[in-house]
Amino acid sequence: MRMPRCRIVTRRFFAIRPLPALRLRGLQFYSGVSRPLAVFCLLLTTAIWGLAFVAQKFATFSMGPLTFIAVRYLLGGLCVLPLARWEWRHEQSGFAGRERLVLLGLISVLFLGSWWQQAGLTNLSVTSTGFLTGLYVLFVPVILFLVSRQTPHPIVWLAAPLALAGIYFLSGGLSQIGRDDLLVIGCAVCWACQILLLGHLAQVTRLPVNISATTFIGAGLLAAVGALLFETPTLAGIARGWIAVVYSAVFSTAIAFSLQAIGQRYVPSANAAIILSAESLFAALGGALFLGERLSLRGYFGAGMIFVAIVLVEAVPALRARRLAACPGPEAPL
């Protein structure tokens, strides 16, 4: 079977558009963001998020999941609010009716994903949580297929069972896969939706920092209401975990999510997913260095299977596209 050599075109909903320059005293704010710099922003985001698993684990010792999320996102939102206000004043853009609905969806998946991840991390190791969270890379092409009928690359059907087998070994068998594992897998689904929704909003609104500030404050308010209803938050508990709160709010939330929003202006969602998936490696490194965590040989084997599946999902289609682009003929065999 042969197919015309052509560039793969995604639906308009996920199309990449250039971000116009924002000027401040003669300086361009976004126009200098090249593709390599955008990739670096995503890599830095990955490292910050991976090490944040350690901070989140320490937070579980002194406060409930919803309390931690509320303080983290509200503080993080306040940190980026001044820059968001400047961006709003200098950018001739806004949120249309459709974008407002997408923004509400983004707030919802950020809240649910954070809640489920923090709740699962209460009893799971940092390493296991990091690798299970990385499964969102597999969910991205599946969700794209369900939403916009973009047929996933055939490698997805190889990577999916490989990842499932990895979960089996990482968790210690089917009988050991419990509520906490399922919560983190549900978190991975939410992160996949978050990547796609954020990619769309960052492309069409030209307000990446405003998107970050709005989603942080929205998710923080939802978590605050949940904490008051289902937990007993105390200032003493929050004070005991202040280091975890500050790192998660300032670095993991205000800085990392804003870098992600800016980076995804120039890096397609599928490519961004594979870069961000490396946070599982930083999570394992942080767990080993700061918590002394060690997996069994079987657990490391499962983690390796998950990581291989994650890499396959992005690397194989990317190499295929590069080979087709380099092909001199009008057609290339499948």
The fraction of the chain above a pLDDT of 70, given in percent, is 81
Residue pair 50/281 in contact (Cβ under 8 Å)? The answer is: yes
Please say if the pLDDT value at position 33 is more than 70. Answer: no
Q: What is the mean pLDDT of residues 144-157?
A: 79
Q: What is the mean pLDDT of residues 17-21?
A: 37
Please say if the pLDDT value at position 26 is more than 50. Answer: no
- CA nearest 272: which of 49, 113, 30? 49
pLDDT, residue 141, reads 80
Please say if the pLDDT value at position 300 is more than 50. Answer: yes
| Rounded Cα–Cα distance for residues 162 and 32 (Å) | 40
pLDDT-derived band at 309, boundaries 50, 70, 90: confident
Q: Which residue has the higher pLDDT, 152 or 199?
A: 199
- Give, in degrees to the nearest 5, the angle at Cα 302 between 163 and 61: 105
- CA nearest 135: which of 251, 268, 279, 267? 279
Q: Where are the alpha helices (DSSP H) in 149-178?
A: 155-171
pLDDT, residue 175, reads 57
Q: Which residue has the higher pLDDT, 293 or 23?
A: 293
pLDDT, residue 22, reads 36
pLDDT-derived band at 27, boundaries 50, 70, 90: very low
pLDDT, residue 128, reads 85
pLDDT, residue 65, reads 96
Q: What is the mean pLDDT of residues 14-21?
A: 36
pLDDT-derived band at 330, boundaries 50, 70, 90: low
pLDDT-derived band at 230, boundaries 50, 70, 90: very high
Q: What is the mean pLDDT of the chain?
A: 79
Q: Which long-range contacts (CB under 8 A, 24 or more apart) does 323-330 make?
A: 324/5, 325/7, 327/5, 329/5, 330/4, 330/5
pLDDT, residue 270, reads 65
Q: What is the mean pLDDT of residues 244-267?
A: 85
